[in-house]
Chain A
Amino acid sequence: MKILVPVKRVIDYNVKPRVKMDGTGVDLANVKMSMNPFDEISVEEAIRLKEKGVASEIIVISVGPQKAQETLRTALAMGADRAILVQTDEEVEPLGVAKLLKAIVDEEQPGLVILGKQAIDDDSNQTGQMLAALTGRPQGTFASKVEFAGDRVSVTREVDGGLETVSLTLPAIVTTDLRLNEPRYASLPNIMKAKSKPLTVKTPADYAVEVRPRLKTITVAEPPKRVAGVKVADVDELVGKLKTLGVVA
């Protein structure tokens, strides 16, 4: 079974994003970029499925600028087999990404597509569900456990009330949550080896997919700032303040 793993190059999760002065977006110049943390979890899960003999080949895909090759190389160093970059300098929205992925799914016919539940930049949480819709496949979103049994996959999902398990026909789309696994670090020999793994560069036009944005960003602003309050000396002062604020009687 082939597994497709879409990955996105995003601001590193440890970096505090700063809004640009002109209100057009978030300043990404000279900011550390990394693989979206949920996508790292997806790559890891695919590799574990290959190690278990469930998967035969792992193809990683990114839609983004030329620099997204670095992200793909990271995935190859972790253990993916080959990579496809759909190169564009335009920002592609989840719907556009899902359409490109659908075209690649049609070409590659994977048994599973596993991707992060959301990217930590636009926080949309849409691409996996949209890909499932466009391919007419079932979706196991926010997965904390993925188990294959025969021609079905069982996905335990993190939901608001706790956990829910669904059984999906294959091929299926799975999106990963944080507790699915802990991604490995690529070893130095594997990083070297990844340099010679195949990486194909394509464009949205190669797939005849229209990725023109449907959402127009009018402004990007800082959220209202909270002002730090006061530090109290001890529990008695805290209780006093809580009484003044009416939190406790």
Chain B
Amino acid sequence: MSVLIWVEHEGGAVKDATLAVVTAAGKLGDVVALVAGSGVGGVAEETARIVGISKVLLADNPAFEHALPENLAPLIVGLMAGHEAFLAPATSTGKNVAPRVAALLDVMQVSDILSVEASDTFTRPIYAGNAIATVQSLDNVKVITVRGTAFEKASREGGSAPVEAVSSGGETGLATFVSAEISKSERPELTSAKIIVSGGRALGSSEQFHQVIDPLADKLGAAVGASRAAVDAGYAPNDYQVGQTGKIVAPEVYVAVGISGAIQHLAGMKDSKIIIAINKDEDAPIFQVADLGLVGDLFKLVPELVAKL
């Protein structure tokens, strides 16, 4: 089987989520990678070095600069001849583009796969991860998004795939990019961080969120996350949100501070290797999944922990 994957990149570099897609696609067959964007020759060269890719298609056109699905989907559909599957990461951009491709191909997409059981059979989470469905796709062509934390990352160096330019596709005029407010942070990215410190509504305010959470994250070299309650209350920006509808993370260590553990939050972090919970309510559901629990006032305990680490 030949598989086309969409390479997600940002600031001229391939994103980690793409590396998991390469691994998942490799379980299905021969992997051809599409790099679409504006002035992305360097990204194509970087992609060509990823282990497991047999060919890189480079679609360099200003129409693809902001990964607008209106422009990308027809490009991808046009390149699908000769491929039996299309895979994209289950990131916000992947989720935006893939279903548009699937519908144009008259294919029912398999979202957010956790494993490849056979060339047409996959597992995926449903009901916020409270159930895992094994589904078989009856379509001739598969369109799939891949959960990044469920697959090993392909190695960034060691491959030497040829790069081939494609000139198809272009501006559809349906949508235009206006602006982006991308959070700048010195900290690691949430979805690829080894350690995450997350804060919940118990932090009480945006100031206290930063006063309590930031020093602990700094000390551990961790990324900062938040529960939906904390984001809704305005204590943390939306891109911090971990959960069913936010980011799915699976770090080595997840520290939940003042997070009760609603099922929607657990859906986003329960595959973490070690979970540490600090909460004043000893019956909070977060303790049912935590490896280490500490009951008490987070405003006392977290600064004490920072001091003693």
Shortest beta-carbon distance, B291 to chain A, in Å? 4
Shortest beta-carbon distance, B97 to chain A, in Å? 8
Q: Does A88 contact B (CB under 8 A)?
A: no
Q: Does A124 contact B (CB under 8 A)?
A: yes
| A139-B96, A159-B93, A215-B135 known; A223-B245 Cβ under 8 A | no
Q: Does B69 contact A (CB under 8 A)?
A: yes
Whether B102 and A130, one on each chain, are in contact in the complex, defined by CB atoms closer than 8 angstroms, is yes
Which secondary structure dominates where chain A touches chain B?
mixed
The residue that B180 contacts in the complex, of A121, A132, A161, A247, with Cβ under 8 A, is A161
Q: Does A239 contact B (CB under 8 A)?
A: yes
Q: Complex formed: what's the CA distance from A123 to B133 in Å?
A: 11
Q: Complex formed: what's the CA distance from A189 to B126 in Å?
A: 37
The residues in A between 86 and 129 inclusive whose CB is less than 8 angstroms from any CB of B are 93-95, 98, 117-118, 120-129
Shortest beta-carbon distance, B78 to chain A, in Å? 14
Whether B137 and A214, one on each chain, are in contact in the complex, defined by CB atoms closer than 8 angstroms, is yes
| A26-B127, A177-B245, A231-B294 known; A239-B96 Cβ under 8 A | no
Whether B290 and A229, one on each chain, are in contact in the complex, defined by CB atoms closer than 8 angstroms, is yes
Q: Report the count of interface residues on A (CB-CB < 8 A).
A: 81
Q: Does B132 contact A (CB under 8 A)?
A: yes
The residues in B between 235 and 284 inclusive whose CB is less than 8 angstroms from any CB of A are 237-239, 244-245, 247, 252-253, 263-264, 270, 274-276, 282
Shortest beta-carbon distance, B11 to chain A, in Å? 10
Q: Does B198 contact A (CB under 8 A)?
A: no
| A17-B127, A125-B99 known; A163-B132 Cβ under 8 A | no
Shortest beta-carbon distance, B113 to chain A, in Å? 12
Among the interface residues A123, A157, A217, A236, which one has the most CB atoms of the partner chain B within 10 A? A123
The residue that B308 contacts in the complex, of A133, A179, A235, with Cβ under 8 A, is A235
Shortest beta-carbon distance, B203 to chain A, in Å? 18
Whether A223 and B305, one on each chain, are in contact in the complex, defined by CB atoms closer than 8 angstroms, is no
Q: Does A226 contact B (CB under 8 A)?
A: yes
Cβ contacts under 8 Å, B112 to chain A? 123, 125
Shortest beta-carbon distance, A44 to chain B, in Å? 15
Which secondary structure dominates where chain B touches chain A?
mixed
Whether A229 and B239, one on each chain, are in contact in the complex, defined by CB atoms closer than 8 angstroms, is no
Cβ contacts under 8 Å, A17 to chain B? 127-128, 130-131
Cβ contacts under 8 Å, B96 to chain A? 129, 139, 141-142
Chain B interface size, as a band, is: 35 or more
The residues in B between 63 and 109 inclusive whose CB is less than 8 angstroms from any CB of A are 66, 68-70, 73, 91-93, 95-104, 106-109
Q: Complex formed: what's the CA distance from A160 to B245 in Å?
A: 11
The residue that B237 contacts in the complex, of A122, A123, A162, A247, with Cβ under 8 A, is A162
Whether A248 and B220, one on each chain, are in contact in the complex, defined by CB atoms closer than 8 angstroms, is yes
Q: Does A197 contact B (CB under 8 A)?
A: no
The residue that B111 contacts in the complex, of A126, A154, A229, A239, with Cβ under 8 A, is A126
Whether B132 and A221, one on each chain, are in contact in the complex, defined by CB atoms closer than 8 angstroms, is yes
Q: Does B168 contact A (CB under 8 A)?
A: no
Q: Complex formed: what's the CA distance from A218 to B137 in Å?
A: 10
Residue in chain B with minimal CB distance to A249: B309
- B133-167 near A? 1/0 per residue, CB < 8 Å: 11111110000000000000000000000000000
Cβ contacts under 8 Å, B232 to chain A? 178-179
Q: Does B228 contact A (CB under 8 A)?
A: yes
Q: Does B1 contact A (CB under 8 A)?
A: no
B20-28, B30-38, B170-178 - interface stretch: B170-178
Q: Does A195 contact B (CB under 8 A)?
A: no
Cβ contacts under 8 Å, B179 to chain A? 164-165
| A121-B126, A161-B239 known; A215-B244 Cβ under 8 A | no
Q: Does A168 contact B (CB under 8 A)?
A: yes
Shortest beta-carbon distance, A28 to chain B, in Å? 10
Cβ contacts under 8 Å, B91 to chain A? 160
- A128-145 near B? 1/0 per residue, CB < 8 Å: 111111101111111010
Whether A95 and B107, one on each chain, are in contact in the complex, defined by CB atoms closer than 8 angstroms, is yes
19 A-B residue pairs with Cβ-Cβ distance under 8 Å, sorted by A, are A16-B263, A93-B108, A120-B244, A127-B99, A129-B95, A130-B100, A132-B100, A140-B175, A141-B95, A144-B238, A160-B191, A220-B131, A220-B132, A226-B275, A226-B288, A229-B292, A230-B292, A232-B292, A235-B304
Known pairs A214-B137, A232-B293; list 4 more (Cβ under 8 Å).
A94-B108, A95-B107, A159-B93, A223-B125
Which residues of A line the B interface, CB within 8 A?
11, 13, 16-17, 19, 25-26, 38, 93-95, 98, 117-118, 120-134, 136-142, 144, 154, 157-169, 177-179, 213-223, 226, 228-232, 234-236, 238-239, 241-242, 245, 247-248
Closest 5 CB pairs of A and B: A229-B291, A214-B108, A129-B99, A130-B103, A133-B103
